[in-house]
Homo-oligomer: A and B are copies of this chain.
């Protein structure tokens, strides 16, 4: 089995996870969560989202959250932005990186940001240079890259087209997101191959939702294809407001458990993040889908 020696896990719970929570999490708890995670060895984190607070009230405290993070040279604090105003807010707050999102599916993009893909691309042409002039790293995420609930499978050329746009804007980091949890390991392998052939200089990251339970299998396929940046959410925090009981991102600690068992280095202290995950579960007041959280690292069942 062909696997990388080490990978980076990019924690997205504070953004993708919390934005899907029904309750607003107190700012000091968000800051404590992020600082505990950086303490546990993360280097990259999507800390919050500088979008319209009316659209995502759960993250309306983005400025205070970013300002509250204990900074060190080797960590990258990233925030989602949708427009120029978001870039300015992220910059003022002290973010290192901004992430822009565009969907590979016309219908999904419309529902997600109320614009056509064309309109989103035009907006990127002003947002991205603005961020780059401010020395912010720009990461672009492609939502529904592995399938759309409205449009079904996404042709590879749609993904390549978007990456071409990103590259022309000077973007080097691209995240392929399985927003609806419709990807499978073979599709993941094919799309990564296609992107690698077309755009070898792009640094790929993968973002899987565990909506249908394939999250870690898809992550494994990504690792076997040589991708070394995977996104995950502590405890599997998040989910989907449109699917009752559906899970969100793959659980960070389950991903760490899997890859470390295979001898892949993550630099993350699994015991520490499990402690944080249990604290988080109490904090949000409901069960989180993460499984190592329930079963523990070494415990097991006596019956077959």
Nearest Cβ on chain B to A199's Cβ, whole angstroms? 21
Would A304 and B221 count as touching, CB distance under 8 A?
no
Would B143 and A304 count as touching, CB distance under 8 A?
yes
A103 to B182 Cα, complex, angstroms:
37
Would A214 and B295 count as touching, CB distance under 8 A?
no
A109 to B179 Cα, complex, angstroms:
43
Would B212 and A295 count as touching, CB distance under 8 A?
yes
Q: How many subunits of this chain does the assembly comprise?
A: 2
Q: A195-220 interface mask toward B, CB cutoff 8 Å, 1 = contact, 0 = none? A: 00000000000010111111111011
A194 to B33 Cα, complex, angstroms:
43
**CB closest residue in chain B, given A225:** B1
Would A19 and B262 count as touching, CB distance under 8 A?
no
Q: Which of A1, A257, A295 has the largest number of chain B CB atoms within 10 A? A: A295
Q: What residues of chain B lie closer than 8 Å to A112, measured between beta carbons? A: 302-304
Interface residues of A (CB under 8 A from B): 1, 3, 16, 19-20, 101, 103, 108, 111-112, 141, 143-144, 147-150, 152, 177, 179-182, 184-187, 189, 207, 209-217, 219-221, 224, 240-248, 251, 254, 257-258, 261-263, 287, 290-292, 294-296, 298-304
Further contacts, 17 of them, CB under 8 A, given A180-B299, A181-B295, A211-B300: A3-B186, A101-B304, A112-B303, A143-B304, A184-B258, A184-B262, A186-B261, A211-B295, A212-B258, A212-B291, A213-B251, A214-B257, A214-B258, A243-B294, A243-B299, A246-B294, A246-B295
